Amino acid sequence: MCGIVGILSTTKKDTAVYIYDALTILQHRGQDAAGIVTSHKGRFYMRKSNGLVRNVFRTKHMTQLLGDMGIGHVRYPTAGSSSNAEAQPFYVNSPYGIAFAHNGNLTNTEQLAQELFEQDLRHINTNSDSEILLNVFASELTKLQKQRINETDIFNSVKQVHKRVRGAYATIGMIPGYGIFGFRDPNGIRPLILGKRTTKGGTKYMLASESVALSALGYEIIQDIKPGETVVIDRAGNTFIKQCAENPKHSPCIFEFVYFARPDSVIDNISVYKSRLRMGERLAIKIRKEWDINDIDVVIPIPDTSRVAALQLAHKLDVKYSEGLIKNRYIARTFIMPGQKQRKKSVRQKLSTIELEFKGKNVLLVDDSIVRGTTSEQIVQMARDAGANKVFFASAAPAVRHPNVYGIDMASNKEFIAHDRDTNQICKAIGVDKLIYQDLDDLIWCVQQGNKEITTFDCSCFNGQYVTDDIDKNYLEHIKFLRGNLEKEGNNTFEASELIGNDVE
């Protein structure tokens, strides 16, 4: 999972500052690396490296990122890799010069890599599928053999990309002297939204992963980019949108609403906040049916993503709600940290208990989901150490039993606490007195109420049904093998802070 943003201004030359602000807002989507590429007078200016946005960019870097348009990226590593070499955006010089940022994961990467080498005669320099996606697009654009391009050329190239590429991809690209563009895969698995801001000085256009990046910076929401759609914005501010996929089907990732997205975002016209409220309501209904709620003295959320659901759950059960766990704001999100060892080390650094909210009480802990069980097990022990009489646990999402192959770091089902375990066995494994999960039908209902036009969601990590219809046991075993090899190899490191020449104006 990553965060992407692109901004084009019809007058101002300080685009990098606003991209920086947008990336900071989207920092929750990736904390491993960050990068910005801008364009000025036909040249690209780039800075990218491992680290948080605030650490990657200093004043000396920002003053060098010139231009009236640019794109940015925050990375969440998948497949066991967090190399500096794979920080985005990526760049190719032919044709025209293209900078490119991608959120998602391709599922036919090896096939595409072979095609690019043998048929397209293009070189791939990293293990990143984002670089492959960029080169597929660049190759299709090259085939047009035109000195100057227009929006139709980009649309036609993206049409071919959709025919060749499978998986999840929300992308933003930039061509110097022309403008920026973005497109979304035919299933709309990963989000992308368009907005604009008009002032006396001119108009700015932004493409971003989540609406919160737009609204926080004063942009008016124009629309979500639909599955298979492409948007092109030229330097004059002309906006062109076209459907480029033959059979688009809207199936957004439901885990965006459970965990990844900020609660103040609206994705595909669905409020993340209201979805999580409904998750709490439905879970409360299930608890009333199956448990004696008089056993529960207090409901405590595991901050931060479960807070909305936990508050509503406590309200519906008419049970005291308390912030008994305090989060250290300077520790990264545990789930998206690269490597299980780092996750385990960070849980107790990230959270501390308020003992008086636990001592002698029957506590219901609420989390958005249970994936590997690392965090859950340690927090349950923290609750007992703080003097809890009994510890119950509720998950706002169903049990995670299958890998997500569309951009979330879940490569092997053996990593999951729910693998080959029923609820009672999971309950014992994480050390709680009772455990309850949200039902999948209820989770889908909670999200779908925000936009009833969406009839399917990607729920693959819960039910093993993959919306791209190209995932089988052999594929899952293969990516597990590749991930193991990457972790053994380690990571090559470098810092990219460079000026790239280009003659296109």
Residue-level pLDDT at 342: 53
Asked whether this chain's domains 3-251+491-500 and 273-450 adopt the same fold, the reply is no
Can you give the pTM of this predicted structure? Answer: 0.92
Query: How confident is the model over 327-376, as pLDDT tens digits?
Result: 987 765 555 455 555 555 567 788 999 999 999 999 999 999 999 998 89
Catalytic member of 2, 253, 446, 459 = 2
pLDDT tens digits for range 386-424: 999 999 999 999 999 999 999 887 657 888 999 999 999
The whole-number average pLDDT for the span 461-468 is 96
Q: How confident is the model at residue 78 (pLDDT cuts 50, 70, 90)?
A: low
Instruction: Give the chain's end-to-end CA distance (angstroms, integer).
Output: 34
Give the pLDDT of residue 346: 64
188-197, 249-258, 382-391, 484-493: segment of lowest average pLDDT = 484-493
CB 102 within 8 A of CB 95: no
Q: What is the pLDDT of residue 9?
A: 96
Average pLDDT of the chain, as a whole number: 91
Mean pLDDT of 480-499: 53
Q: Are 149 and 175 in contact (CB under 8 A)?
A: yes
Per DSSP, which regions of 18-60 are E strands?
33-40, 43-50
DSSP string, 305-365: TTHHHHHHHHHHHT-EE---EEE-TTS--GGGSSSHHHHHHHHHHHEEE-GGGTTT-EEEE
| Helix (H) or strand (E) segment spanning residue 222 | strand 220-224
Q: How confident is the model at residue 492 (pLDDT cuts 50, 70, 90)?
A: very low
Confidence of residue 81 (pLDDT cuts 50, 70, 90): low
Tokens 């609406």 belong to which residue? 211
Cα–Cα distance for residue pair 114/119, rounded to 1 Å: 8
Percent of the chain having pLDDT more than 70? 91
Structure tokens at 228: 């298979």
- pLDDT level of residue 498 (50, 70, 90 thresholds): very low
Q: Crossing angle for the helix pair 374-385 and 423-430, nearest 10 degrees? A: 60
Percent of the chain whose pLDDT exceeds 90: 81
Give the range among 265-269, 282-286, 476-480 with minimum mean pLDDT: 476-480
Q: How far is CA 110 from the centre of its chain?
A: 23
pLDDT value for 16: 97
Give 256's DSSP letter: I
pLDDT(247) > 90: yes
pLDDT at 273 over 50: yes
| Torsion (CA) 463, 464, 468, 471 in degrees, nearest 10 | 180
Q: Is 2 a catalytic residue?
A: yes
In the chain, where the domains are located: 3-251+491-500, 273-450
Tell me, rounded to whole angstroms, the distance of Cα 230 from its chain centroid: 19
Write down the pLDDT at residue 495: 38
**Count of beta carbons in the 10 Å neighbourhood of residue 425:** 12
What's the fold here for domain 273-450?
Rossmann fold (3.40.50)
Range 3-251+491-500 classified under CATH 3.30.200.20: no
Calculate mean pLDDT across residues 24-35.
96
Task: Give the model confidence (pLDDT) of 141-185 as tens digits.
Answer: 999 999 999 999 999 999 999 999 999 999 999 999 999 999 999
Closest CA to 131 of 162, 99, 158: 99
- Can you say which residues are annotated as belonging to the binding site? 305, 367-368
Q: Which residues are documented as binding site for Mg(2+)?
A: 305, 367-368
Strand partners, 3: 74
CA 467 → CA 120, 187, 264, 461, distances in Å?
28, 8, 27, 11
